[in-house]
Chains A and B, each alone.
Chain A
Amino acid sequence: MNGAAPALRTRATRAVLSLGVMAVVYGLAAEAGRGRLPDRVWLGTHYVENVQLLPPYRSLAEEGTFLVESGILTGSIAVSAGRVLLGFVLGAAAGILVGLWTGRRARAEYLAGPWVTFLQFTPALALLPLYVLWFGYGEISKVLLIATNVAVVALLGAHQGVRSVPRVYLDAASALGAGERLTFRKIVLPAALPHIFASLRIALGLAWVTIVVAELIDAQMPSLGYLLTLAGAYPRVPTMVIGIGTIGALVLAFDLLAMSLHVRATRWMRRAA
Chain B
Amino acid sequence: MSSPAGAPIRLEAVDLGYTYAGATPTRALENLSLAVRDTEFLAVLGPVGCGKTTLLRILAGFLRPTTGSVRRDGAAVEGTSLQIGYVFQEDAVFPWMTVRDNVEFGLVARGADPAARRAVSDELIGLIGLSAFVSAYPKDLSAGMSKMVEVARVLATDPSILLLDEPFGALDAQTRARMQDELARLWERRRKTVVFVTHDAEEAIYLADRIVVLSSRPGRVRADFPVQLPRPRSQEARFSADFSALKRRVWEALG
> Which residues from A are CB-within-8-Å of B153?
176
Determine whether the beta carbon of A171 is less than 8 Å from that of B88.
yes
Among A168, A173, A175, contact of B60 (Cβ-Cβ < 8 Å)? A175
When A268-B95, A269-B139 are in contact, do A177 and B86 touch as well, CB less than 8 Å?
no
Interface string of B38-78 (1 = CB under 8 A from A): 00000000000000000000001010000000000000000
Among A174, A175, A182, A187, contact of B94 (Cβ-Cβ < 8 Å)? A187
Determine whether the beta carbon of A269 is less than 8 Å from that of B95.
yes
Interface string of A242-273 (1 = CB under 8 A from B): 00000000000000000000000011111000
Determine whether the beta carbon of A186 is less than 8 Å from that of B95.
no
Determine whether the beta carbon of B96 is less than 8 Å from that of A172.
no
Task: Tell me whether B189 is interfacial, beta carbon within 8 Å.
Answer: no
Task: Tell me whether B85 is interfacial, beta carbon within 8 Å.
Answer: yes
Interface string of A83-106 (1 = CB under 8 A from B): 000000000000000000000000
Count of B residues near A, CB < 8 Å? 28
C-alpha gap A173/B93 in the complex (Å) = 10
> Which residues from B are CB-within-8-Å of A172?
86, 88, 92, 94, 150
> Which residues from A are CB-within-8-Å of B91?
168
Task: Tell me whether A169 is interfacial, beta carbon within 8 Å.
Answer: yes
When A179-B109, A186-B105, A268-B97 are in contact, do A174 and B80 touch as well, CB less than 8 Å?
yes
C-alpha gap A193/B109 in the complex (Å) = 22
C-alpha gap A258/B140 in the complex (Å) = 25
Determine whether the beta carbon of B94 is less than 8 Å from that of A169.
yes
Shortest CB distance B177–A (Å): 25
> Which residues from B are CB-within-8-Å of A267?
137
Task: Tell me whether A1 is interfacial, beta carbon within 8 Å.
Answer: yes
Task: Tell me whether A145 is interfacial, beta carbon within 8 Å.
Answer: no
> Which residues from A are CB-within-8-Å of B108?
178, 182, 186
C-alpha gap A190/B110 in the complex (Å) = 20
Determine whether the beta carbon of B139 is less than 8 Å from that of A176.
no
Task: Tell me whether A212 is interfacial, beta carbon within 8 Å.
Answer: no
Task: Tell me whether A191 is interfacial, beta carbon within 8 Å.
Answer: yes
When A176-B109, A182-B109, A267-B137 are in contact, do A168 and B157 touch as well, CB less than 8 Å?
no
Among A169, A177, A190, contact of B109 (Cβ-Cβ < 8 Å)? A177
Determine whether the beta carbon of A171 is less than 8 Å from that of B62.
yes
Between A166, A173, A191, A268, the greatest number of chain B beta carbons within 10 A of the residue's beta carbon is seen for A268
C-alpha gap A267/B98 in the complex (Å) = 11
When A169-B92, A169-B94, A172-B88 are in contact, do A178 and B139 touch as well, CB less than 8 Å?
no
Task: Tell me whether B17 is interfacial, beta carbon within 8 Å.
Answer: no
C-alpha gap A270/B121 in the complex (Å) = 24
C-alpha gap A186/B153 in the complex (Å) = 15
Question: Smallest CB-CB separation from B106: which chain A residue?
Answer: A176
When A169-B94, A173-B105 are in contact, do A268 and B88 touch as well, CB less than 8 Å?
no
Shortest CB distance B41–A (Å): 20
C-alpha gap A168/B94 in the complex (Å) = 10
When A168-B90, A268-B96 are in contact, do A177 and B139 touch as well, CB less than 8 Å?
no
Task: Tell me whether B82 is interfacial, beta carbon within 8 Å.
Answer: yes
C-alpha gap A193/B96 in the complex (Å) = 10
> Which residues from A are CB-within-8-Å of B82?
177
Task: Tell me whether B84 is interfacial, beta carbon within 8 Å.
Answer: yes
Between B88, B140, B150, the greatest number of chain A beta carbons within 10 A of the residue's beta carbon is seen for B88
When A267-B137, A269-B95 are in contact, do A168 and B106 touch as well, CB less than 8 Å?
no
Determine whether the beta carbon of A177 is less than 8 Å from that of B96.
no
When A182-B109, A186-B105, A268-B137 are in contact, do A177 and B90 touch as well, CB less than 8 Å?
no
> Which residues from A are CB-within-8-Å of B96?
190-191, 193, 266, 268-269
Between A168, A176, A177, A179, the greatest number of chain B beta carbons within 10 A of the residue's beta carbon is seen for A176
> Which residues from B are CB-within-8-Å of A174?
62, 80
> Which residues from B are CB-within-8-Å of A268?
95-97, 137-139
Determine whether the beta carbon of B95 is less than 8 Å from that of A270.
yes
C-alpha gap A175/B88 in the complex (Å) = 11
> Which residues from B are CB-within-8-Å of A191?
96
C-alpha gap A193/B95 in the complex (Å) = 12
Determine whether the beta carbon of B105 is less than 8 Å from that of A175.
no
> Which residues from B are CB-within-8-Å of A193?
96
Interface string of A216-240 (1 = CB under 8 A from B): 0000000000000000000000000
What are 24 A-B pairs with beta-carbon distances under 8 A?
A: A1-B140, A166-B90, A168-B88, A168-B92, A171-B62, A171-B86, A172-B92, A175-B60, A175-B154, A176-B105, A176-B106, A176-B153, A177-B109, A178-B106, A178-B108, A178-B109, A182-B108, A182-B109, A186-B97, A186-B105, A190-B94, A269-B96, A269-B139, A270-B139
Sorted from nearest, which 4 A-B pairs have the closest CB atoms?
A176-B106, A190-B96, A177-B109, A178-B109
Given pairs A172-B92, A267-B137, 10 additional interface contacts (CB within 8 A): A166-B90, A171-B92, A172-B86, A175-B60, A175-B80, A176-B109, A177-B109, A178-B106, A186-B108, A268-B97
